[in-house]
């Protein structure tokens, strides 16, 4: 914010609140550049209310919140913040894998509640992670960073992605699989594809039926990739063992069925939430805005 205040005339001070639609429509009226986050839906009407806008710098790598076609039609450059958040989000994915498999949240609650009476042979038994099969859907930057970490756990990696990988890091053996086979063979299924018309509800009733009853679903990508109603049903029926979620179908609302399930670990969309990474994401937004306002190409243009 210090850099922004120094280099630009700031029209609207950001707040830790999701702006209302009215805030957006009014707030962008005179703006030549805007930084938005994934919680703001920037559709054709919002863009129409921003006639001076030259660049919309999304402070996120995913940009499903923006109507890219309308932006292009209006000559508004849209940018995102790739790479700097890859490791941070991959780390959080592993946090969820380990937390859900080893019942970390339940254990913490037991100790805090003073209900813990000491070590016991069958207390809070979880699932092994090392040596199990990791399935990754969407083998891009974050998917590959998650896969790379699996080497330390001696886990075979299966992946399903839109475009086959052209190369892999040395000494890695990631195996491409059709989606159905990946779901049937994996012990941990991690989602890392962007939200698009093709990936909305990619994982629903039929897909949960294919998964092993001992397997776990981890979603740090976008909530609507999973049919949350079907996920709750599958968890209740025992078609899968648990889920680790950072994102939700109707954020910030969470399906009430998830809240009562102990085999689920729920985080409030924290994928990139470290101080260093958020500063780097902010600085990428500034870099892109400076480039466009100076008539140069934006380094992270998505449209």
Using CB under 6 A as the criterion, which residues of the chain lie in contact with ligand GLV when the complex forms?
38, 60-62, 85, 271-272
Interface positions, 85-124, toward ligand NAP (CB under 6 A): 85-86, 89
* Catalytic choice (222, 228, 249, 300): 222
CB of 70 to ligand NAP, least distance (A): 19
Active site residue 162: no
Pick the stretch among 69-77, 104-112, 133-141, 289-297 that binds ligand NAP (CB under 6 A).
Answer: 133-141
* Catalytic choice (229, 233, 251, 287): 251
CB of 38 to ligand GLV, least distance (A): 5
Active site residue 106: no
CB of 89 to ligand GLV, least distance (A): 7
Q: Which residue has the tokens 């998650």?
A: 146
**d(Cα 249, Cα 204) in Å, to the nearest integer?**
12
Torsion on CA atoms 105, 233, 247, 142, rounded to nearest 10? 90
Tell me: does residue 162 bind ligand NAP (CB under 6 A).
yes
- The vertex-118 CA angle with 117 and 123, nearest 5°, equals 95
* Catalytic choice (149, 177, 192, 269): 269
Tell me: does residue 221 bind ligand NAP (CB under 6 A).
yes
Q: Beta-carbon neighbour count of residue 132 at 10 Å? A: 20
CB of 92 to ligand GLV, least distance (A): 10
Q: Which residue has the tokens 């699996």?
A: 150
The correct pick among 54, 103, 177, 192 for binding ligand NAP (CB under 6 A) is 192
Residue (of 104, 96, 157, 95) closest to 131 by Cα position: 157
CB of 87 to ligand NAP, least distance (A): 11
**Residue nearest to ligand NAP as judged by C-beta position:** 140
In the complex with ligand GLV, which residue's Cβ is closer, 89 or 133?
89
Active site residue 269: yes
The correct pick among 246, 248, 249, 300 for binding ligand NAP (CB under 6 A) is 246
Overall size of the chain counted in residues = 303
Q: Which residues bind ligand NAP (CB under 6 A)?
A: 61-62, 82, 85-86, 89, 137-143, 160-163, 192-196, 198-199, 220-222, 246-247, 269, 271-272
Active site residues: 222, 251, 269
């Amino acid at each position: 914010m210090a850099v922004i205040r120094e280099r630009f005339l700031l029209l609207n001070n950001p707040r830790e609140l999701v702006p209302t639609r009215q805030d957006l429509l009014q707030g962008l009226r005179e703006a030549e550049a805007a930084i938005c986050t994934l919680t703001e839906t920037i559709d054709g009407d919002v863009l129409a209310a921003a006639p001076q806008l030259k660049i919309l710098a999304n402070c996120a790598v995913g940009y499903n919140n923006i109507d890219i076609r309308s932006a292009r039609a209006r000559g508004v450059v849209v940018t995102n913040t790739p790479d700097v958040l890859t490791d941070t989000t991959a780390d959080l994915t592993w946090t969820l894998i380990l937390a859900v498999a080893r019942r970390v949240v339940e254990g913490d609650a037991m100790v805090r509640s003073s209900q813990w009476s000491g070590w016991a042979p069958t207390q809070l038994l979880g699932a092994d992670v090392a040596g199990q099969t990791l399935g990754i859907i969407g083998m891009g930057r974050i998917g590959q960073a998650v896969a790379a970490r699996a080497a330390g756990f001696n886990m075979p990696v299966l992946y399903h992605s839109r475009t086959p990988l052209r190369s892999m890091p040395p000494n890695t053996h990631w195996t491409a699989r059709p989606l159905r086979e990946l779901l049937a063979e994996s012990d941990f299924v991690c989602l890392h594809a962007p939200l698009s018309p093709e990936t909305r509800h990619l994982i629903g009733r039929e897909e949960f039926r294919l998964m092993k009853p001992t397997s776990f679903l981890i979603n740090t990508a976008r909530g609507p990739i999973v049919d949350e109603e079907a996920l709750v049903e599958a968890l209740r029926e025992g078609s899968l063992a648990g889920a680790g979620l950072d994102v939700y179908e109707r954020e910030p609302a969470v399906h009430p069925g998830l809240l009562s399930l102990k085999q689920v670990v729920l985080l409030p969309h924290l994928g990139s939430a470290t101080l260093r990474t958020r500063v780097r994401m902010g600085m990428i937004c500034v870099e892109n805005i400076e480039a466009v306002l100076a008539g140069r190409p934006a380094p992270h243009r998505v449209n």
